Every structure is written in structure tokens, then in C-alpha cells.
């Protein structure tokens, strides 16, 4: 019997792949064009979704754009995608300014990676089965929940410096989702509208919402720590 040997990736090939990643990350032209592409896609998705929401509200509201605007910026998906679009725009336009330096902080870029990862995962695991968008709604939906998350995570892997994150950082990054939850519950108590079914007090009550939120925050924290582990692992490899 002739048994074919299955090739096993060698350490040399792994090192060569790592060197290729490092070279790409240090290429200013590649960084510029990637930021431009991601920024354009991000802004396109946001503007398209806003136009669709205003149009959908036009028939049932006396001031559709006002209601649509408040609801639009109440979606975690929109806020985080907006963060990606603004970050790419600032780093393109003025990377060395005070604002550009602030937006280029490794901790901030990694926190954004964790947030956009959560946006994509929650949508595809929990929300995607609840509706079936068609036409331009499907385009906006996929851009916001699939394309931008994947492209930004690739950006984080390739272009964000590694090995600089502390173990306490993920805990501090939970502050924003906590503030978002508080805002959502306070606003929802006044307008009787909640952006996501797992925070809908009208259906679940506060106890159900708190339970769901605790589970999501715990999963969020695990994902953030996985990013820190990946950051430290890549940081060690780039120093050898």
C-alpha cells in the first residue's frame, strides 16, 4: 500500500508568512489605500442605511427624519460602524495631528475591533434569522454586519502594532457598552422603543434584559481578552 505523505507547514514557511505581514504593515501605500477603501465602504453603508430608515419612516410619522435620526443613532451597529468610518477618515486626513494620534492609539483601535466583532457575531448568531432584507436593505445590512467587520479585523491584524496591550484594558473597554445599555434603557422608557429584541423591556421586562445584557457583556469580555492574547502572541513573534 502506497501512503502519500501529507505536507506539514514548516517553521520556515510560518516565519516567511509573518515577515510578509510585517512588510505589508510597514508599507505606507498599502495602509493608505486600505484605509481609503474601508472608509469609503463604511460611509457608504452608513449613509445608505440612514436613507433607507428615513424612507421607511416617511409614511407613518409627521417628521420622519427626526424620528429616524434618533432611532438611527440608537443602534449599536450604527455607532460602531460610524466609529470605524471616522477613524479611517481621521487617519487618512491627518494621522500626525493631535486628533490623529488619539485615533491611532493601539488600545482604541483594538477596542473598536472588539466592538465591530461583537456587532457581526450578534447579528449573524442572533438577529439575522429574525428578518430577511431585500434589495438595498440587504446591501446595507451586509455592509454593516459582514463586510465592514471583516475588513476592519483584517486592518487590525495587518496594520495595528502588536504587543502593547495590558491585561486590564478589556475591562475598561466594557465601559462603552455599559453606557450604551444605560442610554438605551433610559430612552426606551420614554419612547417605548428599543433597538434590539434582547433589550426590549416591553417584552422581556427589566429582569430579562439584565440577564441578557450580563450574558452579552461576559461574552464580550471573553472576545476582548482573546484579542489581547492574539495581540501578545503576534507581538512576541514580531520581536524574534
Enumerate the domain spans of the chain: 20-238
CA 91 to chain centre: 17
Q: Name the nearest CA neighbour of 152 among 53, 72, 77, 232.
A: 77
Looking at the predicted structure, is the pLDDT value of residue 17 above 70?
no
The predicted model gives 5-17 an average pLDDT of 51
Q: Name the nearest CA neighbour of 81 among 43, 36, 40.
A: 43
Angle at which helices 135-142 and 28-57 cross, to 10°: 140
User: What pLDDT digit, counting tens, does each position of 92-134 carry?
Assistant: 999 999 999 999 999 999 999 999 999 999 999 999 998 888 9
Question: pTM of the prediction?
Answer: 0.86
Distance from C-alpha of 63 to C-alpha of 83, rounded to nearest angstrom: 27
Amino acid at each position: 500500500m502506497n501512503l502519500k505523505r501529507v505536507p506539514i507547514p514548516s517553521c520556515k514557511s510560518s516565519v516567511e508568512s509573518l515577515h510578509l505581514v510585517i512588510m505589508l504593515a510597514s508599507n505606507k501605500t498599502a495602509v493608505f489605500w486600505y484605509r481609503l477603501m474601508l472608509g469609503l465602504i463604511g460611509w457608504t453603508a452608513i449613509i445608505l442605511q440612514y436613507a433607507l430608515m428615513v424612507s421607511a419612516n416617511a409614511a407613518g410619522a409627521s417628521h420622519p427624519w427626526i424620528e429616524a435620526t434618533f432611532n438611527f443613532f440608537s443602534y449599536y451597529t450604527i455607532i460602531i460602524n460610524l466609529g470605524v468610518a471616522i477613524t479611517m477618515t481621521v487617519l487618512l486626513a491627518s494621522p500626525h495631528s493631535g486628533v490623529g494620534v488619539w485615533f491611532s492609539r493601539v488600545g482604541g483601535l483594538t477596542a473598536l475591533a472588539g466592538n465591530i466583532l461583537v456587532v457581526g457575531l450578534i447579528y449573524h448568531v442572533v438577529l439575522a434569522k429574525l428578518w430577511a432584507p431585500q434589495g438595498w436593505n440587504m446591501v446595507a445590512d451586509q455592509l454593516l454586519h459582514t463586510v465592514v467587520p471583516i475588513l476592519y479585523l483584517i486592518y487590525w491584524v495587518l496594520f495595528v502594532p502588536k504587543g502593547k496591550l495590558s491585561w486590564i484594558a478589556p475591562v475598561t473597554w466594557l465601559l462603552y457598552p455599559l453606557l450604551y445599555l444605560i442610554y438605551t434603557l433610559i430612552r426606551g422608557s420614554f419612547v417605548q422603543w428599543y433597538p434590539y429584541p434582547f433589550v426590549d423591556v416591553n417584552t422581556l421586562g427589566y429582569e430579562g434584559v439584565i440577564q441578557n445584557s450580563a450574558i452579552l457583556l461576559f461574552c464580550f469580555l471573553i472576545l476582548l481578552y482573546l484579542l489581547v492574547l492574539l495581540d501578545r502572541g503576534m507581538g512576541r513573534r514580531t520581536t524574534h
